[in-house]
Structure 1
Amino acid sequence: MIIKEYEKKGLLLNIAFAEAADDPQTVGFRGRLALVEGEIADDAGNRKPPHIVMEQTTLLSKGDKLVFLSGSLDRLEDLPALIEMYKGDFAADMLAILYVVNITAAMQVEIEGINFALIPMREGVAWNELMDEGGLDKLDLKKLPSGEKVVTVYESLSDFKPKGEKVTLEEALSRTADITRVERGAL
Structure 2
Amino acid sequence: MTPIEYIKENNLEWQPSFSGEITSSLYGYRGALIIEEGKRLSETRVMPPKYQAKQVIMVSENEKIKFFACELETFAYFKDFFAKYGDYFDKDSINLLYVIDLDANGTFEYEGVKFCAFMLDESSVWNEVLDFASLEKGDLKKLSSEEKIEKVYDEILSTPADEIDKTYDEMLALMGNTKKALMGAV
Same fold by TM-score, threshold 0.5 exceeded? yes
Q: Partners in 2 of 1:112 and 1:167 — Cα distance?
A: 14
Aligned equivalent of 2:38: 38
- Name the SS for the 2:66 alignment partner: strand
Note the 1:52-91 alignment, pairs <5 A: 52-91=51-90
Q: Give unpaired runs (5+ residues) of structure 2.
A: none
Distance 2:27 2:106 in 1: 28
Equivalent position of 1:49 in the other structure:
48
SS at match of 2:154: helix
* Aligned residue identity for 1:85: K
CA contact (8 A) 2:90 2:112 kept: no
- Structure 2 SS opposite 1:17: strand
- Normalized against structure 1, the TM-score is what? 0.89
Q: Which range moves more in the overlay, 144-153 or 4-13? A: 4-13
SS in 1 for 2:76: helix
Q: Which position in structure 1 is the counterpart of 2:26?
A: 26
Deviations 1:122-149 (A, max 9, x none): 1101111111211212232233331232
Asked if the contact 2:98–2:118 (Cα under 8 Å) also holds between the matched residues in 1, the reply is yes
Distance in 2 (CA, whole Å) between partners of 1:13 and 1:62 is 21
Overall identity of the aligned pairs, in %: 26
Match of 1:171 in 2: 170
Aligned partner of 2:115 in structure 1 is: 116
CA-atom RMSD in angstroms:
1.9
Q: What TM-score, normalized to structure 2?
A: 0.89
Deviations 1:125-176 (A, max 9, x none): 1111111211212232233331232121111012333335211111111112
Structure 1 gap ranges (5+): none
Alpha-carbon separation, structure 1, partners of 2:20 and 2:7: 13
| Structure with the higher fraction of residues in strand conformation | 1
